[in-house]
A = this chain, B = another copy of it.
C-alpha cells in the first residue's frame, strides 16, 4: 500500500480526486472526522480548556499521559464513513474494532452521536461535559483507555488482540438484517486467532445470517515494528485476501480528500455488493458461497498527528502508537506542538459557543438505535429472550437402584439439547471443535445440521447451509463466535475436550473481566451465561493419552471473580441434565460443566438428581453406613468425591470398606457444585461453616477423590475447621495411553488406594484393617498385571456395580 510500500501501484487504483462525495458531503464528512479526532486527542491530553478558548497551558494537560493515538484517526475515519452509508441506506449496523486500544475514538464517536450523554448524563453536550469527557479518560476513577464495557456500542474489549473478527461473525449469526463492520488491525492480523478467523466466512449463511464487512486497517506498525501484512507485496496481499474467500476493495493514501472519496466509493461498493449477495441468496436461491467484500484501508499510523517530534518522523511510524508528545512539563516545544496539533482540527468551526457540536455536523450520524453506539445488539441483554426449555425430566434415565445401570451421560444430554434446538431455532447454537458426535451429542443431528458453506459431497452427513451446530477445528473460533453470539443477546453451549479448552484460557479471562465490569454498569443488560461442557475428560483418554490429559481449566476459571464463575461436576446422566438446565437458564456467569461421555454408572433418579444438584453437594446415605447427618455420632471417615470417575472409585471403595470392615462408619459425600466447598464469604455458592462441618465433620478424616488437580480442593477448603484432615486424591500429571483403571491407579485415585488411604488415616482399626490393607496392595498389583497381560482392565473391576 502506498503508505507502507512506496513502490505500490494499488494506491493509484482510484486516480483523481473525484468520487461519490459532493464537495459539501466531503466538507462535512471531513469536519466530522476532525471533530472525532479532536475529541480523541483531547481525551488523551487535556484536563481543562477543552475547546482551546485560551492558549494551552501546562496545567490544562494531564500529569500522566496515557492512551493510544496511532490507530485512532483510522477508527474515526471508518466510523464517519459508516455513518454515511448507514444513513444513506438505512442500515442496521454495529462496529467491532480489533485495535480497541483506540478507545478515545470510540468514546468520541459515542459522544458526538449523543449516546454517551444519554448513558452518562454527567458528560453533557457542552463545554462542561467536554471537560469531564476529557478528564475522565484513563484517569483514576474515570474510564479505561481501551474500548471497554463502559463504551457504548461495544461488545469487544480492546485489550487482548485477535478476537475481533470472530466476535463480529458471532454477532452476525442469526441476525439477517445486521451489518457488522469489523476493523482488523494489521498488528492484530498476526495473531493466531485472527488468522484463523478469516475462514469464518465458510460458516456464515447469507440467507439466515447477517453480513460481516472486514476492514483491514493497514497502518503499517505495531508498538515498535512494522506489520507483516503491510510489508508484503500488494499482489501477495491481494492473493491472500482472495484466498480467504473475499473480494478486496483497496483504499490507500494520505491525502484526506482523496481518501474520503475513495473510502466512500469502497463503502458504497461493499454495501451494494452485500445487498446483492443477500438478495441472490434469499430471493434468487443462489446457494454458491459468495465472495464477501472486504475493504483494505492503508493510511498512516497516527494520521493528522505530529509529523515529527524531536526531529524524528512520527506520523506514519510506530512512534505515534501511544502518546506522540510526552514530557510536556519538561519540554515547552512539545506543549507548543500539542497546541498546534489540537488547533489543526479547528475546533472553533466544529463546536458552538456552548460547546455543542454544530448543527450541520450533529445532523450527520444516524439517530436512535441506528447509531452504532446505541445499537441494541451491542447491549445484547436488551434483546435477550429466555430459552424455551423442555422439561429436562423427560430425558431422564431410569435408575431403579443406584450404581447398577450404565448410561452415557452426554448422550442423554444430547437428546435434551436436540429439543432445546427444536424449540429455539434462532437463538441457540452449539459450538465444538469437530467433536459433537465424538462427544456423543449426536442426537442433535436428528434436529439440525452443521453449518457449512464449503463444497459438499454426497458422502457428507449433516452438513447444511444453515444449522445450529458449528464445528471447526479451532477452539479459538468456537469461543470467539460464541462470545459474539452471547454478547449480542443469544444463547449457546461450547462442548470441548477437557484438555484443549486451555487453548482459550486467555479468551475466557477477557470474557470474565467483561462480565465482571458489566455487572457494575447499570445500562448494560445481563446476557446469557457462557456454558462449557467439558467432556472427553482427563480420565478417559483411551485413544489419546498424556497429551489429552489436563483438568486444569477448572483451576484457571476459579481464579476469576467469584460472582462470575460456577463449576459443576455432575456424577451421572440425570445430574448432568439438571445442571445443564440450570446453566442454560442462568445469566452473566461462566458455567463450567465437566462430565463423561463413556458408559458409566448412574446413581440418582431424576428426583434425587434435582434435589442433589439443588443442594450442590450432599451425603449419599445409601452408600454409607453412618446413618447420615441425622444420626447420632459422627462417622469414622468421610469419603468425599467430585466427578464421575472419582465417584465410581469412591463408591467401590465404600463397598469394600463396608464389606471388609463393617464396624467402620463410612459417610459418602458427593459434590456437584464445586464452589460449595468455599466459605460463603468467598463465593455466593459457598457453604456456611456450620453446614460444611455438618457434612464433613469437624475432626474426622476426609478422603476426597477429586476429578482434577488435588490442590484445588485444598485451596477451596483451607479455611475450614477440618481442613487439616482433608486428604485429596486427584490427577497428579501421571498419564499415558492406557486403560481407564490403569490410569486411576497411576494417580492413586483407584478404589484400592482409597481404601488404603482410609486405613492409613483412621486410627485404631486393628488387625482386620491391616489385612485388608495388604489385600488392597495386592489387588493393585494384580489389576496392573491383568491390564498389562490382556490389554484391558479386569472385567471384575471395569464391570463393578453396587452390591445388591
Contacts and interface: CB of A to CB of B under 8 A. Distances in A.
A224 B436 CA distance: 9
A146 B239 contact: no
A583 to B, nearest CB: 22
Interface string A52-73: 0000000000111011100000
- Taking the full assembly, how many copies of this chain does it contain? 2
A176 interface: no
B4 A556 contact: no
Given A160-B500, A313-B459, A545 B145 contact: yes
Contact of A718 (B142, B714, B784): B714
Interface in A703-722: 709, 711-712, 714-715, 718
A545 B224 contact: no
A324 B7 CA distance: 55
B138 A737 contact: yes
A191 to B, nearest CB: 5
Chain A, interface SS category = loop
A791 interface: yes
Contacts of A187: 434, 473
Contacts of A659: none
A244 to B, nearest CB: 7
B192 A476 contact: yes
Given A159-B545, A787-B140, A791-B47, A224 B550 contact: no
A499 interface: yes
B503 A506 contact: yes
A286 interface: no
Contacts of A505: 502-503, 505-506, 556
B561 A733 contact: yes
Interface string A460-471: 100100000001
Interface string A529-560: 00000000000001111111010100110011
A242 B556 CA distance: 39
A288 to B, nearest CB: 10
A188 B472 CA distance: 10
A87 interface: no
Contacts of A243: 236-244
B542 A552 contact: no
Contacts of A502: 505-506, 509
- Of A222, A459, A510, most buried by chain B (CB within 10 Å of CB) is A459
Contacts of A138: 543, 545, 737
B191 A474 contact: yes
A434 B225 contact: yes
A196 B202 contact: no
Contact of A471 (B225, B435, B712): B225
A228 B241 contact: no
A101 interface: yes
A698 interface: no
B195 A140 contact: no
Given A63-B792, A245-B236, A476-B192, A224 B471 contact: yes
A316 B457 CA distance: 11
A144 interface: yes
A543 B67 contact: yes
Contacts of A513: 546-547, 733
A237 to B, nearest CB: 7
Contact of A460 (B226, B543, B547, B791): B226
Output the residue of A145, A225, A239 with the most chain B CB within 10 A: A225
Contact of A140 (B161, B188, B457, B738): B738
A330 B552 CA distance: 39
A161 B715 CA distance: 32
A790 to B, nearest CB: 6
A753 to B, nearest CB: 17
A192 B504 CA distance: 11
B159 A548 contact: yes
Contacts of A332: none
Nearest to A143: B737
Nearest to A6: B457
A632 interface: no
B231 A510 contact: no
A793 to B, nearest CB: 9
Interface stretch (A107-115, A339-347, A410-418, A448-456): A448-456
A624 interface: no
Given A187-B434, A242-B236, A718-B714, A559 B548 contact: no
Contact of A228 (B195, B224, B472, B791): B472
A723 interface: yes
A690 interface: no
Given A472-B190, A788-B141, A454 B232 contact: yes
Contact of A64 (B711, B712, B792): B792
Contacts of A550: 509
A578 interface: no
A376 interface: no
Given A224-B436, A474-B191, A158 B547 contact: yes
A620 interface: no
Interface string A228-261: 1001110011111111110000000000000000
Contact of A139 (B159, B244, B791): B791
Interface string A206-235: 000000000000000011111110011100
A37 interface: no
A781 interface: no
A90 to B, nearest CB: 33
A504 to B, nearest CB: 9
A739 interface: yes
A56 B193 CA distance: 48
A398 interface: no
Most buried by B among A228, A231, A236, A435: A228
Nearest to A101: B544
Contacts of A738: 140-141
A105 to B, nearest CB: 16
Which 4 A/B pairs are nearest by Cβ-Cβ distance?
A159-B547, A240-B243, A192-B192, A231-B454
25 contacts: A63-B790, A66-B542, A138-B737, A141-B787, A144-B736, A158-B547, A160-B548, A190-B199, A190-B474, A191-B475, A191-B476, A202-B232, A223-B435, A224-B434, A226-B456, A227-B473, A232-B455, A239-B242, A313-B459, A499-B506, A499-B509, A505-B505, A556-B556, A560-B733, A714-B714
Given A5-B455, A556-B556, 6 more contacts: A63-B792, A140-B787, A146-B737, A159-B545, A188-B473, A224-B437
